[in-house]
Structure formats: structure tokens, C-alpha cells
Structure 1
Amino acid sequence: MSLSPRPDVARRVRTSPQAASRHVLMWAALVVLAVVAVMALFPQLVATHDPLRTDVRAALEAPGPAHLFGTDQSGRDVFSRVVYGAGRSVGIGLLATGLALVLGLVIGALSGIAPRVVDATAMRVTDVLLAFPEFLVALVVVAILGPGPTNVAIAVTIAAVPVYVRLARVQTRSLALTEHVEAARILGVPPIRAFARHVIPGVLGSLSVLATIGIGSSILAAAGLSFLGLGPTEPAPEWGLMLSGGRNVLGTAWWIAVFPGVAITLTVVSATIVGRTLRARAEGRVS
């Protein structure tokens, strides 16, 4: 009788360090997102100052006990502005992602069951939009609609929709051919009811996993547009706008741009880690 471990056991032992590191990374990302969520929902519990209050006598103070992240050119507390900025930056990203998911689900699912002409037209438009980077599409849309936080959310939504449309169409066509859908049809279940009960939930599940990754991209795109002056305007606290305001004084007051930049980076990376982990688990690639 062989005493060597079974192949599946040996594989788990060999990959345990990698699995452990993935779990640690996942939990670290969740902690970061939890902190950002608290900042976005309850900023008054975290902030130490009024984010809009100016004090020219305290302008450009370095980080210290009085101002954890220092002050900006107007003497406003950078830490408090980063805290309150989470609500705007993350809010725009979440809103855009949610709208893109809903629109992608509706358009993609209908395209998957529509006549060939309609399906081909929808897919050609989707392919054209997918040929360009999301940020470029969002930039063009904002240029057409005009600046402002609402238009930024609309632009990021339009830029993100094609990815959800493509996935929703593929999933719809795949699920429509499954045995339980065919069984429902044979039993006389109305097509619309069978579609809503057996196809849409599966499509929505796939899109939800994709959306967890898309949140980071949407936050980054919204911050980029704000950095270019196309989103919220002064004195509103918003991470991209704060980055733009601190770029000209990096040599003397680095903290004005660095701290909102770190906030954007940590949030986007954490959302991406969580999203990729969920997608890998949904595909059965991780335990």
C-alpha cells in the first residue's frame, strides 16, 4: 500500500501558502472597503473639521496633530475633505455601475432573444463602443453633455454599459438552451414567465460579479473626469478635484494631492481584488 499523499491532497498542500496570501489580501481589501463605506455614509463620525471651512492663517500647514493630513491653499483640513470626498467619489462610481448593470441586463437580455437584425445592430453598436477605452468614451460624452457631477455619472454609465450588454447577451443565449428552460416550455409555462424565472436570475448573477470589478473602474473614471475639471466644482470635496487642486504645489505641499490619490488607489485596488476573487470563486478556480 502506497504511503504517498493523494494528488488532490498534495496539490492543496502545495498551494496552501498562495491560498493563505489570497485570503489575507481579500480580507485586507474588505477592511479598506469597510472603512471607505463608513467614510461615505457617516463622514461626520470620522472627520475632525468642517471640510468647507477656510482659514488663511493655517494655509499649507504640513500634516500634524492639529491637521492629520495637513491643510490646503485655503487652510481647509485635507483629512476631513478626503473623508467627505468618499461620498461623492464612491457614490458616483456606485451609481454609474448600478445603472450600467441594469441597462446592460435589459439591452443584452433583449438582444439575446431578439430577431437577428435587431441583435446584429445592437452588437455592432456595442462593438464600436468596446473598441475605445472607457475613459475616452466617458470624456466624449461629458464633452457633449457638459460638465457636472450628474453628467459625469451619465458618461461613466454609458462608457461601462457595453461590457454588461455583451455578457448579458451571451449568458441569455446560453441559459435559454438549458434543460430546465426547455422543460418549462414543454410544461406550458408562458415564455415571458419562463424567461423571467429561469434566465434573468442567472444573467443577473453573472453581471453582479462583473459589477464588483466595474465599481473600481467607474470610481477611477469619475475621479479622472473630476481631475480634468469636468465633475464637481470647488469648494466641493471630491478626490479627483482635490488631486487637481494640489498638482501645482506638489513641491511645497505634497499632502494636498497625495492623500486623495492614496484614497483613490486603495479604493480601486480593493474593489478590484474583491471583484476578481468573487469571479474566480464563481468560476470554481479558487477554494
Structure 2
Amino acid sequence: MKTSQRVLLGAALVVLAVVAVMALLPQVIATHDPLRTDVRAALEAPSAAHLFGTDQSGRDVFSRVVYGAGRSVGIGLLATGLALAIGLVVGSLSAVAPRAVDATAMRITDVLMAFPEFLVALVVVAMLGPGPANVAIAVTIAAVPVYIRLARVQTRTLALAEHVEAARILGVRPLPAFSRHVVPGVLGSLSVLATIGIGSSILAAAGLSFLGLGPIEPVPEWGLMLSGGRNVLAQAWWIAVFPGIAITLTVVSATIVGRMLRARAEGRAA
């Protein structure tokens, strides 16, 4: 790995570490109560008292960004984890299922993959209704086709590997052989893809929240904060800019780590 790549990877890991602390221990970093309002301090510019300024209700933007990490990152992680689990099960079973079942599953997957993930998530959450849980479900449904496709391909490839054939020759039953020698390899490939997918899921969840389909005020959430600051961008830019920076840094950092992991897994330079 080149020095520049190491520096880039180190910076990305630092950002993700900070975001993780924000999500798990927000009270350690936050300087104010994120829900406390003070109309006398409304729309104050960034200062020593309020590092990221205040919003229309006088709430501390820095503290809201810190507490918002838990919801924004949490939804992204939950959606990615669910998509990985569903993709592993459906993709692996499709690979060993009868041809008619496999063909039906792949045609449904192809239809979902034909549309942008955000559009699929938008349609799903519009059908289910707004709310954090429905946003997570929508993002999961939008992301899962990619995991199904990869799991199917990897299952078929590993099922023909020499060590799997050797296990069968030695008398290992099909199900134990499949679970011990095929599933771990498929899970490893999906885990690398999931590292990249976390960023996409966070971005999709923030986009849905921005449209008013996720958490509602006064809950601190990055996408919702962006939406709340767009109407006062000219006189109070900090309300929208700092949550936007948080989203950008998190998504870019997760993507960098994911791409480097994928490059390492494929045995090539990042």
C-alpha cells in the first residue's frame, strides 16, 4: 500500500472512530442538551459558547450533530446488516434451488436492481409511511438485491471448489459441508460489500429524512437537520452545513475503507 493510501485510510478510520464515539457516547462530546430551546439565542453564529451556532429554536447545533450520529449511523448500520443477512440467505438458497425457483428469484432481483436504490427506498417508505423503522426497512429493501446477486454467484463458485468436493468425498453430508465450507466464504465477500454499503445506506436514510419521511422534530438526525436549515441558509448557513459535513465525511470515510478492503480481498492495489 502506498504512503498516500495509508494516510487516506488512516484519516478515514479516525473519522469513523470519532463518529462511533459520537453515536455510542454522545454525552461525552456534546456541550448542551440537544433538545433544550432558548429563543433568545436563536440563530446565533458559531462561537465559543456554541461551536456550531444555534438553530431557529436556540438549540445548540453542535450537540444536535453529535446526538444525531446515533440515529443516522444506526439506521444505516441496521439496514446494511439486514440487507446482508437477507442477501446471504436468499442468494445462497437460490444458488442451490431448482432452476425455476432460482430464475424467479433472479428476475425479481433484476427488476429491483433496474431502479436506483434511493428511488426504490422512496417508493417503499411512501407505501409504509414515515418513521425511523420504516426508513430502515425501505433502505434494506433497496439495498438487498446487490447482496442477493453476490451471494448467489459466490455460492455457485465455492460449491465447485476443491476443498468442498474433498469434504463430500470424505463423507461429509451436504448440509454440514455447505454450512462449514461455503457459507463462511460467501459471508466474507458480503462483509466487504457491506462496508461500502454502509455509506450508501446512511446517505439514503438521510435523504429520506430530508424529505420528511424519517424521524420528526425535535429529534436530532442529520437529514432532518439539513431539511430544517435549508429555508434559512442565507442568514444561518451553519444549521445545514455542519450536518452536511458530518454526512459527507462519514459516507466518504466508509467508502474509502470499504474500497480498500475490497481491493485487498481481490489481491490488487486500491
Same fold, judged at TM 0.5 (above):
yes
Pairing of 1:155-174 with structure 2 (within 5 A): 155-174=138-157
Give matches, 1:213-252, under 5 Å. Answer: 213-252=196-235
1:185 aligns with 2:178: no
The structural deviation recorded for 1:286 is 2.5
1:175-218 deviations in Å (ceiling 9; x for gaps): 00011111111111110000000000000000000000000000
- Give the corresponding residue for 2:23: 40
What whole-Å deviation, never above 9, does each CA across 1:57-78 have from its counterpart, x for those lacking one? 0000000000000000000000
CA distance in 2, matches of 1:178, 1:28: 38
Equivalent residue number for residue 114 of structure 2: 131
Partner of 2:77: 94
Deviations 1:129-164 (A, max 9, x none): 000000000000001100000000000000000000
**1:139-154 maps to which residues of 2 (within 5 A)?**
139-154=122-137
Code of the residue aligned with 1:209 in structure 2: it is: V
SS in 2 for 1:69: coil
- Kindly indicate whether residue 67 of structure 2 is the aligned counterpart of residue 67 of structure 1: no
Among residues 119, 129, 136, which one is paired with 2:102 in the alignment? 119
Q: 1:286 aligned to 2:269?
A: yes
Structure 2 residue 239 is the aligned partner of structure 1 residue 256: yes
Aligned to 1:269: 252
> Structure 1: which 5+ runs fail to align?
1-15
Q: What amino acid does structure 2 have at the position aligned with 1:232?
A: P
1:208 to 167, 177, 191: 191
Tell me which stretches of 4 or more aligned residues in structure 1 moved more than 4 Å: none
* CA shift digits 1:89-126 (9 cap, x unpaired): 00000000000000000000000100100000000000
**Tell me, what secondary structure is at the counterpart of 2:52?**
coil
- Bigger Rg over Cα: 1
Query: Is residue 39 of structure 2 the alignment partner of residue 51 of structure 1?
Result: no
**Aligned-pair RMSD on alpha carbons?**
0.8
Aligned pairs, number: 270
Percent identity, aligned pairs only, is 86
The 2-side partners of 1:277 and 1:51 are apart by 36
Residue 181 of structure 1 aligns to which amino acid in structure 2?
Answer: V
1:196 pairs with 2:196: no
Note the residue ranges of structure 2 that are not aligned, 5 or more in a row. none
